[in-house]
Structure 1
Amino acid sequence: MKTITFFYDVISPYAHLAFKAWPQAMAGVGHRVRHVPVLFAGVLAHHGQLGPAEIAPKRDWTYRQVAWLAHRAGVRLDMPVHHPFNPLALLRLAAACALSPAAQGGTNRFVTEALFHHVWHGGGDPNDPVRLAGLQQRLAEHMAECGHPMSEPDSPEVKQRLRANTEAAIAAGVFGVPTFEVDGRLFWGQDALPMLRAYLEGDAWFSSGAWEAAAQVGAGVARAR
């Protein structure tokens, strides 16, 4: 059974949509999932890129598209009162639930869903202190029930875990979220789920050389930065 690493940042509405689509998209395909929180801003900085919400026309389109995708899929998606926002507090809560040896830097499905719902349900401020405190309490209770007490979100160990997750994602070639990694292959975006399923099911295209050939296309021009 293959293990799929789902790199996510709760700031991304596409990551939320992918998480909600996952059970149906992968139904009947044997697999394991590691939900790994990363700092999307760190990934963007490494590649010298702006986020989609930092480009005004793309920002408008992104919010329209995710609203439509959520509507079509029957998934709840309420835009938070501010977007983009600083997701560090939430990502550190995630990392605080991912320090046990068994977690391998990842969050379980309950924690991951709670984090996404905090941002994408209700239209509130993700960094509201009262809401954050309530979320931290729920996660702490859940982790205690699991037998893996939650770590202190502001501890050096938690901060290092989030950095390590982000550095591992960059080293793997991740350039955006959500990204799914399996067998060293990266599948980027909520709309890559059908392609990922085809790979898991053994579609012959993936052994035809077409995957490798795509990386051999030469660049005809490069813009100065």
Structure 2
Amino acid sequence: MHALRFYFDPISPYAALAFWNLPEALRGHNHVVDYVPVLFGALLKANGQKGPAEIESKRAWTYRQVLWLGREQGLSLPAQHPFNPLALLRLAWACCDEGSTPSRWVVEQLLNHVWQGQGADANEPARLQALAETLAPQRRADEEAAKRRLREATDAALAAGVFGVPTIAWQGKLFWGQDALPMLVAALDGDPWFQSGAWEDAGQRPAGIQRS
């Protein structure tokens, strides 16, 4: 059985697209997926990066692309983006036992709340309350346990080399982005490229120049 870890933050429309497309991509593969909510902003800060929505021209392209890609799933942009995802991330961790990760159903509710909300504000208090009532978490999202698990998951993701979302980890390899799903499936199918040393060689190539 293939064991996969799906790192995501509901702030990312690409995480939603990858999540929605994952079952079809993995059809026919014996697999289990752990869904791991992490704070995308912390990944960006640790790596000295800006998010796509923080660069004006890239933000415009991102919105155009994801609206086109997500037409069949009814993807819509939330009223505010980027927004602070902490309430949603902590709610996700509040929905599972210590030592486990949120279920696919929980993650689906979170992502649909943001990206199929018909343009509503993801952090509007009444909507958040309705989402919490639907999810019926085991503890309050503002309790220290949920906050701690989010911090620990984000730190562990950084230690594993995760720099963005969505990222799917499999056998020590990281597949970043919704457009990496075909590459992941090729690896699961035993594509000989992954045994040729090309993966390792590509990762060891030095940078040509370094910007100050």
The two structures have a TM-score, normalised by structure 1, of 0.92
Q: Does 1:109 align with 2:92?
A: no
- Letter in structure 1 aligned against 2:147: K
> Conserved in 2, the CA contact under 8 Å of 1:98 and 1:107?
yes
Query: Alignment partner of 2:204: what SS?
Result: coil
1:107-127 CA-partner distances (Å, limit 9, x unpaired): 101100000011011210011
Name the structure 2 match of 1:23: 23
- RMSD, matched Cα: 0.9
* 2:91 maps to which of 83, 89, 93: 93
* 1:208 maps to which of 178, 196, 203: 196
1:71-130 CA-partner distances (Å, limit 9, x unpaired): 2xx1210100010000000001001013333x2xx2101100000011011210011110
Q: Does 1:221 align with 2:189?
A: no
- Letter in structure 1 aligned against 2:68: W
* 1:82 maps to which of 70, 80, 83: 80
Name the structure 1 match of 2:41: 41
Number of equivalent positions? 211
Structure 1 residue runs of 5 or longer lacking an equivalent are 144-149
Structure 2 residue runs of 5 or longer lacking an equivalent are none
> Conserved in 2, the CA contact under 8 Å of 1:39 and 1:91?
yes
Q: In the TM superposition, what are the counterparts of 1:4-15 in structure 2 within 5 Å? A: 4-15=4-15
Query: Alignment partner of 2:76: what SS?
Result: coil
Task: Give identity over the alignment, percent.
Answer: 55
Q: In the TM superposition, what are the counterparts of 1:109-148 in structure 2 within 5 Å? A: 109-121=104-116, 122-140=118-136
Q: In structure 2, what is the Cα distance between the partners aligned to 1:41 and 1:151?
A: 24
Name the structure 2 match of 1:153: 141
Name the structure 2 match of 1:197: 185
- Letter in structure 2 aligned against 1:220: G
> Conserved in 2, the CA contact under 8 Å of 1:99 and 1:151?
no
- Letter in structure 2 aligned against 1:128: E
> Conserved in 2, the CA contact under 8 Å of 1:44 and 1:176?
yes
Q: In structure 2, what is the Cα distance between the partners aligned to 1:34 and 1:80?
A: 26
Give the ranges of 4+ consecutive aligned residues of structure 1 lying more than 4 Å apart after TM superposition: none
* Displacement after TM superposition at 1:217 (Å): 1.4
Name the structure 2 match of 1:55: 55
Q: In structure 1, what is the Cα distance between the partners aligned to 2:78 and 2:111?
A: 11
* Displacement after TM superposition at 1:2 (Å): 1.7
